[in-house]
Amino acid sequence: MQTDSSFTFVLFGGTGDLSMRKILPALFEAHRAGGMLADSGKIVAVARHVADRGEYLQWVDEHVKPHASKNGVDEAAWTSFLARIELVKIDLGNPEDFAQLRDAIQDMPGIRVFYLATGPSLFVPICHALAAVGLNHNARIVLEKPLGYDLKSSNAINDAVGEIFAEEQIYRIDHYLGKEPVQNLLALRFGNALFEPLWRREWVESIQITIAEELGVEARGDFYDNTGALRDMVQNHLLQLLAIVAMEPPHSMDSDSVRDEKLRVLRALKPIDPHEIGKVAVRGQYHSGVIRGNAVPAYATEHGVKPDSSTETFVALKVEIENWRWAGVPFFLRTGKRLADRVAEIVVNFRAVPHSALGASALRAGANRLVIRLQPNETIRLYCLAKQPGEGMNLASVYLDLAFDRFFREAQMEAYQRLLLDVINGRLALFVRRDEQEAAWRWVEPILNEWKASTKLPKPYAAGTWGPAAASAMLAQHGTCWLEEEN
């Protein structure tokens, strides 16, 4: 993925946690690899609470370097990377300060990328201030989630940003779409005749998509208590992964072809009947518990959280898609904090054979399954049955492993690295289009409204478990279980 595209990458929130842990490390990896970033490309950090460039580079050295490379940092590459970085000190709340940013970057080469690693309340003021000093031309703008609190607020942000930047200039980022196994899912489906004929209701029994976290709300209690898991994870990450899994083959891999097909999936989601929410949606909130031998507090006692909070930290949903390919196939979505493990995966359960000439063991669970693991270890495994060595026809579950490191010498690219390179090079396919976002909010809102009006509290679950028992009961009604319960 080499490029000659010259660029000026302006990073708002240059001292923030996201910039330190994800954005700058991703840019360093692209720099270190050689050829991915044009030599003339510049990184301009916008920050307020550092004295000068020297102090900022010390901050980067201290806070970014630990995240910059899994195999250690090459000092020569690190030094040359730091040489790309400039600092502009401005107050984001003062539009007049943006003239200083304009003056600092006006002679820098190439496309301008404005990455808003800030709270969403600053998105619109920053865009207005950029336009006021003429910086909305020859530019791309990257918006982090959450983009709004509901459909109305999301539309308000999109309307305001859309008055300043054209839709093709706006990159709404969802880093799960940049993960290597998600890209390989597209390759498996649309590049091989083996899978596509099976990717439909006749052969797929159910699909599970899980994003589980061991961490709690950490220092984000104030934010999270006004957001909750449904807004924070389901409306964006989980529904985007569902759309990728369920989409029809696009005409090509250009940005609009891919996003058109995802949009069709989101618009085909069966609306949630408010009277049926108790059957198809489970919300939970973690209580105190033990994770890896360490006692952790209850959500309601976390800093910034209201003691009587009814905010959900866990969501499990049964979702249906009303189209010919997927009619009748349940999609089970799940996400939560303080769960038993940190894992993100997609599990495609194929139907059992209609008649087994090999005995009951050929109908056993654990076979006829594709597992796409997104984190922590990115793998794709196809589970099937094979005969065990020895006498008799005894079957065991085995798997075929797509081990990337055995076939490709190149290291797997981190999600943020891929997505930032796509922004610099003007590739929109892995970013969320406005109509996709609106369709997701429109589907989620009835659940949000019903939970807001309900007097029922989220179901409790102990930290370090897999969530409320009701989430398992929901799957049991369909004759299945979550993947970890099978083991």
- Catalytic residue numbers? 237
Q: Any binding-site annotation on 65?
A: no
Q: Classify residue 121 by its DSSP letter.
A: G
Task: Provide long-range contacts, Cβ within 8 A and 24+ apart, for 427-431.
Answer: 427/255, 428/168, 428/171, 428/255, 428/256, 428/259, 429/253, 429/254, 429/255, 429/258, 429/259, 430/177, 430/178, 431/171, 431/172, 431/173, 431/174, 431/177, 431/255
**Whole-angstrom distance, CA of residue 285 vs CA of residue 155:** 29
Q: Any binding-site annotation on 405?
A: no
Q: Any binding-site annotation on 374?
A: no
Beta bridge partners of 317: 281, 333
Answer yes or no: are the C-beta atoms of 268 and 321 closer than 8 Å. Answer: yes
Answer yes or no: are the C-beta atoms of 113 and 133 closer than 8 Å. Answer: no
224, 243, 112, 95: which is closest to 165 by C-alpha? Answer: 112
Answer yes or no: are the C-beta atoms of 49 and 89 closer than 8 Å. Answer: no
CA atoms within 13 A on the CB side of 312: 27
Phi and psi angles of residue 57, each rounded to the nearest 5 degrees, phi first: -65, -35
Cis peptide before 120 (omega within 30 of 0): no
Beta bridge partners of 284: 314, 459
Q: Any binding-site annotation on 49?
A: no
Q: Any binding-site annotation on 145?
A: yes
Q: Any binding-site annotation on 89?
A: no
H-state helical runs in 41-179: 53-63, 65-68, 75-82, 98-105, 123-132, 151-162
**Whole-angstrom distance, CA of residue 84 vs CA of residue 36:** 14
> Is the torsion defined by CA of 30, 32, 36, 39 positive or negative?
positive
Interhelix angle for 180-191 vs 239-246, to 10°? 20
Q: Any binding-site annotation on 213?
A: yes
Neighbours of 131 (CB within 10 A): 17
**Whole-angstrom distance, CA of residue 112 vs CA of residue 94:** 21
**Whole-angstrom distance, CA of residue 47 vs CA of residue 118:** 11
Name the amino acid, one letter, at 420. L
Q: Any binding-site annotation on 270?
A: no
Q: Say which residue the tokens 């700058």 belong to.
A: 24
Q: Any binding-site annotation on 337?
A: yes
Interhelix angle for 151-162 vs 123-132, to 10°? 10
Binding site members for NADP(+): 48, 91-92, 145
Binding site members for substrate: 175, 179, 213, 232, 337
Binding site members: 48, 91-92, 145, 175, 179, 213, 232, 337
